[in-house]
Amino acid sequence: MSWAITPDRADGGPARVLVVGAGITGLAAAHRLRDHLGEDATIVVAEQSSRLGGKIRTVDFAGRAVETGAESLLAARPEAIELARAVGLGGDLVYPAGLKPGLSLGGELVDFPAGHMMGIPGDPADVAAIADAKELPDDGMPILRPGADMSVGELVRSRLGAEVLDRLVAPMLSGVYAGDVDRLSLRAVMPQLATALERHSRLTDAVTEIKRPAGTGPAKPVFATVDGGLTRLVYATSAAARADVRLGMTVRELRQTPYGWEAVAGPVPDPMRLKADAVILAVPARPAADLLRGVEPHAAATLSGVPYASVALAAFAFDHIDLPERSGFLTPASGGKTVKAATFASQKWPHLGRRRQIVRVSMGRLGEEALLQYDDATLAKTALRELGEHLGIAVPEPIEWRIDRWGGALPQYSPGHLTRVAAAREALGKRAIAIAGAAVDGVGIAACIASGQAAADEISAQLKSE
Ligand SMILES: Cc1cc2nc3c(=O)[nH]c(=O)nc-3n(C[C@H](O)[C@H](O)[C@H](O)COP(=O)(O)OP(=O)(O)OC[C@H]3O[C@@H](n4cnc5c(N)ncnc54)[C@H](O)[C@@H]3O)c2cc1C
pLDDT in tens, 421-465: 999 999 999 999 999 999 999 999 999 999 999 999 999 999 998
What is the sign of the dihedral through the CA atoms of 344, 346, 350 and 355? negative
Query: Ligand 1: which of 274, 283, 372 to mutate, judged by most atoms within 8 Å of the beta carbon?
Result: 283
Residue nearest to atom 2 of ligand 1 (CA): 69
Does residue 89 register a pLDDT over 60? yes
Q: Which amino acid is at 335?
A: G
Distance 49 CA to ligand 1 centre (A): 12
Looking at per-residue pLDDT, the higher value among 177 and 235 belongs to: 235
* Domain-located, residue 190: yes
Q: Which amino acid is at 446?
A: A
pLDDT at 144: 96
Neighbours of 47 (CB within 10 A): 26
Does residue 366 register a pLDDT over 90? no
Q: How confident is the model at residue 337 (pLDDT cuts 50, 70, 90)?
A: confident
Residue nearest to atom 37 of ligand 1 (CA): 283
* Domain-located, residue 395: yes
Residue nearest to atom 29 of ligand 1 (CA): 54
Whether residue 46 is found in the same domain as residue 73:
no
Written as one string, the DSSP assignment of 177-192 is H---GGGSBHHHH-HH
Distance 409 CA to ligand 1 centre (A): 7
Query: Per residue in 330-362, is it b (16+ CB within 10 Å) or e — as a string?
Result: bbbbebebbbbbbbbbbbbbebbeeebbbbbbb
Q: Is 21 in the pocket of ligand 1 (CB under 6 A)?
A: yes
Does residue 10 register a pLDDT over 70? no
Q: How confident is the model at residue 342 (pLDDT cuts 50, 70, 90)?
A: very high
Whether residue 327 is found in the same domain as residue 365:
yes
Mean pLDDT of the chain: 93
Neighbours of 1 (CB within 10 A): 7
Q: How confident is the model at residue 137 (pLDDT cuts 50, 70, 90)?
A: confident
Q: Is 28 in the pocket of ligand 1 (CB under 6 A)?
A: no
Q: How confident is the model at residue 178 (pLDDT cuts 50, 70, 90)?
A: confident
Whether residue 285 is found in the same domain as residue 426:
yes
Whether residue 335 is found in the same domain as residue 325:
yes
Q: Is 176 in the pocket of ligand 1 (CB under 6 A)?
A: no
Q: Is 48 in the pocket of ligand 1 (CB under 6 A)?
A: yes
Q: How confident is the model at residue 358 (pLDDT cuts 50, 70, 90)?
A: very high
* Domain-located, residue 112: no
* Domain-located, residue 65: yes
Spatial separation of the C-alpha atoms in residues 4 and 7, rounded to whole Å? 6
Domain containing 199 — which CATH number? Answer: 1.10.3110.10
* Domain-located, residue 221: no
Residue 456 belongs to what H/E stretch? Answer: helix 445-465
* Domain-located, residue 104: no
Whether residue 256 is found in the same domain as residue 320:
no
Task: Find the domain containing 155 and state its range.
Answer: 118-135+145-211
Whether residue 254 is found in the same domain as residue 393:
no
* Domain-located, residue 72: yes
Whether residue 301 is found in the same domain as residue 420:
yes
Domain containing 384 — which CATH number? Answer: 3.90.660.20
Enumerate helices (H) and strands (E) in the chain, giving the number of each. Answer: 16, 22
Q: Is 16 in the pocket of ligand 1 (CB under 6 A)?
A: no
Atom of ligand 1 nearest to the CA of 409: 53
Query: Ligand 1: which of 32, 50, 55 to mutate, judged by most atoms within 8 Å of the beta carbon?
Result: 55
- When pLDDT is averaged across residues 75-80 and rounded to a whole number, the result is 94
Q: How confident is the model at residue 7 (pLDDT cuts 50, 70, 90)?
A: very low
pLDDT at 369: 85
Residue 196 belongs to what H/E stretch? Answer: helix 191-196
Asked if 177 and 410 count as a contact pair (C-beta separation under 8 A), the reply is yes
pLDDT at 174: 87
Residues in the chain: 466
Residue nearest to atom 13 of ligand 1 (CA): 70
Does residue 277 register a pLDDT over 60? yes
Whether residue 374 is found in the same domain as residue 312:
yes
Whether residue 344 is found in the same domain as residue 372:
yes
Whether residue 30 is found in the same domain as residue 179:
no
Domain containing 20 — which CATH number? Answer: 3.50.50.60
Residue nearest to atom 48 of ligand 1 (CA): 54
Whether residue 376 is found in the same domain as residue 432:
no
Nearest to 143 by CA among 177, 120, 109, 127: 120
Distance 348 CA to ligand 1 centre (A): 23
Asked if 8 and 38 count as a contact pair (C-beta separation under 8 A), the reply is no
Distance 431 CA to ligand 1 centre (A): 25
Distances (CA, A) of 118 to 15, 114, 169, 174, 442: 43, 11, 6, 10, 16
Q: Is 440 in the pocket of ligand 1 (CB under 6 A)?
A: no
Distance 248 CA to ligand 1 centre (A): 16
Spatial separation of the C-alpha atoms in residues 377 and 244, rounded to whole Å? 40
Whether residue 322 is found in the same domain as residue 372:
yes
Residue 175, Cβ density class (10 Å: 0-12 exposed, 13-18 middle, ≥19 buried): middle
Q: What's the number of domains the chain is made of?
A: 3
| Among candidate residues 179, 211, 243, the one where a domain is terminated | 211
* Domain-located, residue 341: yes
- When pLDDT is averaged across residues 108-122 and rounded to a whole number, the result is 88
| Among candidate residues 183, 211, 239, the one where a domain is terminated | 211
| Among candidate residues 211, 242, 257, the one where a domain is terminated | 211
Does residue 4 register a pLDDT over 50? no
